[in-house]
Structure 1
């Protein structure tokens, strides 16, 4: 029993690591209430399901929708220093949605254009604009790509853009925040990819564990099933083989 519990924990950890790699978070919040549809109520979601869910989530009732793209953003980055303004925005929102792991990168610019077509509003690319609302005359879908490598700087730019939009549209806004490019982790931090760098000038690591993967998800699942099923089958067969015919019969009672 103890062995099966340990293997279960290892298997769960493996799935967790696999889910974390090559993923990006998705955040949505608004000063007004909105209803989260069923397909977005998940911790891990595919890019296709996310696009469909966001398309259904946006009901075109907001005058301004800000679509924010921060390349190489990962869920683990949101808990680090330099994100105080972002945390304050989400905590102060009337409604919010947080999906830690989107399985892949989200093409946020295309998503913003599709939302603009759906709501029949103006699409504005404000990536290089300091004032995101200077050219707006009415409802709009605003796409903003954060290009700074500093999390604190991106947080400041996002806070300023939201302040400008709220000054024009008050509380009637919706913010969608994700990443169009997944973060690349160092090879030494991966469990499932123990491969040498292809760069011949890179320092090669010695040891058989750096050349081959000895434990995969399939192996862990097989071990887990074997630990549970084999003892049960063994006990059942042993009990069946231990059944014996009675050697004596009771005498008839008058």
Structure 2
């Protein structure tokens, strides 16, 4: 029973929550909007906290990057020389939230609704951009809320990592073309991923900014794919915690069964000699 209780306690770690999404944000200059945000997202609505902050309207532009299907593991797969990692590393104000709960999202559950709320609160222009489909007329002197829609992440495995790198380059080229020098960038997703689940507590950052993570994974299958998935971890836990003890105690039970008494003749006994006597 103790082993079963221990296994059940590990189920939330292996399966975690499917109703979460990542959020990263950074600014071109020091900003209290991000520094006032909480360190965790268990009970606080991040979007409402950002929206009610008076300094949200100070920025020349609030850029909301929406990438459907984005997951925390996608951001972790980015190397430290990617645009997103470099932007966070160079920013004086940044935040990383791997697992924001769905009920912490804006009221309608999408980033466009949040961007519209910021535009209404600050009385600024709201524009939508799709990379590769032309840009609207932008004025550096006019405060703007920009919704930047990136392609959806819908593949798995190494192709997904390759798409993330391509989208990171696309994001860099698009943001560099914007005329705003003082901006706040929020990168998240409006469409919650259904085929991925949270794998670790949100105490760890989304991106690994260490120098060791400089290039995309190279080498064999162990370097390119994540083999220890939550499902496999759960199977291993069941095997180690349930099946192995059953096998062990079964062997012990069989070994404890006494063998029947053998009716062998005593050493040195000769039946013919006994009869002659």
Match of 1:184 in 2: 194
Match of 1:103 in 2: 101
Match of 1:229 in 2: none
CA deviation string 1:168-192 (max 9, x = no partner): 222x1100111111112279x666x
The answer to whether residue 50 in structure 2 is matched with residue 54 in structure 1 is: yes
Match of 2:148 in 1: 144
Are 2:18 and 2:196, in contact at CA under 8 Å, matched by a contact in 1?
no
How many residues were matched structurally? 186
Q: CA deviation at 1:8?
A: 6.3
Could you say which structure has the larger radius of gyration?
2
Please give the alpha-carbon distance, in whole angstroms, between the structure 2 residues aligned to 1:155 and 1:19.
Answer: 27
Are 1:44 and 1:100, in contact at CA under 8 Å, matched by a contact in 2?
no
Question: Measured at CA, do residues 159 and 103 of structure 1 come closer, stay the same or move farther in structure 2, by a change above 3 Å?
Answer: same
Among candidates 46, 68, 91, match of residue 89 of structure 2 = 91
Match of 1:74 in 2: 71
Question: Measured at CA, do residues 38 and 139 of structure 1 come closer, stay the same or move farther in structure 2, by a change above 3 Å?
Answer: closer
Alignment partner of 1:98: what SS? Answer: strand
Flag structure 1 segments of 5+ consecutive residues without an equivalent. Answer: 195-208, 210-254
1:231-246 residue pairs with structure 2 within 5 A?
A: none
Please give the alpha-carbon distance, in whole angstroms, between the structure 2 residues aligned to 1:90 and 1:69.
Answer: 17
Q: CA deviation at 1:86?
A: 1.0
Match of 2:170 in 1: 157
Match of 1:201 in 2: none
Please give the alpha-carbon distance, in whole angstroms, between the structure 1 residues aligned to 2:196 and 2:90.
Answer: 35
Cα root mean square deviation, aligned: 3.5
Are 2:23 and 2:98, in contact at CA under 8 Å, matched by a contact in 1?
yes
Q: CA deviation at 1:94?
A: 1.4
Q: CA deviation at 1:135?
A: 3.4
The answer to whether residue 208 in structure 2 is matched with residue 175 in structure 1 is: no
Flag structure 2 segments of 5+ consecutive residues without an equivalent. Answer: 154-162, 198-228, 239-277
Q: CA deviation at 1:31?
A: 1.8
CA deviation string 1:32-73 (max 9, x = no partner): 112257984143346x81221221345210011110001111
Compute the TM-score of the two structures, normalised by the length of structure 2. 0.57
Question: Measured at CA, do residues 39 and 190 of structure 1 come closer, stay the same or move farther in structure 2, by a change above 3 Å?
Answer: farther
Alignment partner of 1:142: what SS? Answer: strand
Alignment partner of 1:32: what SS? Answer: coil
Are 2:67 and 2:188, in contact at CA under 8 Å, matched by a contact in 1?
yes
CA deviation string 1:201-222 (max 9, x = no partner): xxxxxxxx9xxxxxxxxxxxxx
Please give the alpha-carbon distance, in whole angstroms, between the structure 1 residues aligned to 2:193 and 2:25.
Answer: 20
